[in-house]
Amino acid sequence: MTDRVVVAGAVFDEGRLLAARRSAPPELAGRWELPGGKLEPGETAEQALVRELREELGVEAEPGERIPGEWPLAPGYVLQVWTVRIVSGEPRPLEDHDELRWLFRHELDTVDWLDQDRPAVAEAACRLPVGTPPGLAGGAPPTRT
Ligand SMILES: Nc1nc2c([nH]c(=O)n2[C@H]2C[C@H](O)[C@@H](COP(=O)(O)OP(=O)(O)OP(=O)(O)O)O2)c(=O)[nH]1
C-alpha cells in the first residue's frame, strides 16, 4: 500500500520560517512542526495545504516549490513540504496548535521540533537568508520606546 501523505508548509516571511507548537495528541503536544495536515481523497497536495493553512492558521496561502525529499512519520504516513507565501491574514493558532513563532535561521534550534521534522526543517532552512537580520546589526537588541 502506498503511504498516506501529510503535507506541510514551510511558511516564509521577511526571512523567517513559521514554527507551530502542537496542542494534540498528547504524545506530540508541546513539540514544534511545520503546519499542515493529511491529504484528503481527491485533493492535490497544494489544495490540501491551502485548506489546512486556512483551517489551522486562518490565512490564505500560496504554495510555491516542493522542497525535495519525503520524510517518514508514523507507519503508513510520509511528510512532504512545500514553500508557502501568505497572501492574506495574520497566522493565529486556531486549530491543532497553541503557539506560533517566526524564526530566523539562527533561531531554528530554539524550539523542540518533532524528531521526524528535523530533516525537513533543515532543508527548508537552506532557503532562509544567512546572517544578521536587518535591524539587529551590531548585536544590540532593538529598543522599545
Ligand atoms: N501537520 C503536520 N503533521 C505532522 C508533522 N510532522 C509529523 O509527524 N506530523 C504528524 C502529526 C499527525 O499525526 C499527522 C498529521 O496530522 P494532522 O492532525 O496535522 O492532520 P489533519 O489536520 O489532517 O488531522 P485529522 O483530520 O486527521 O484530525 O502527521 C508536520 O510537520 N506537520
Provide the pLDDT for residue 104.
Answer: 97
Is the Cα torsion angle 94, 88, 43, 119 positive or negative in sign?
A: negative
Domain spans of the chain?
Answer: 4-125
The interface pTM score, or ipTM, of the predicted complex is 0.92
For the stretch 16-68, pLDDT in tens is: 999 999 999 999 999 999 999 999 999 999 999 999 999 999 999 999 999 99
Q: pTM for this structure?
A: 0.90
Report residue 138's pLDDT band, with 50, 70 and 90 as the boundaries: low
Q: How far apart are the first and last CA of the chain?
A: 59
Residues within 6 Å of ligand 1 by CB: 6, 8, 28, 33-38, 52, 73-74, 77, 79, 96, 114, 116-117
For the stretch 88-112, pLDDT in tens is: 999 999 999 999 999 999 999 999 9
The CATH label, of 3.30.450.20, 3.30.70.260, 3.90.79.10, 3.40.50.300, for the domain at 4-125 is 3.90.79.10
Q: Nearest C-alpha to atom 15 of ligand 1 is from which residue?
A: 37
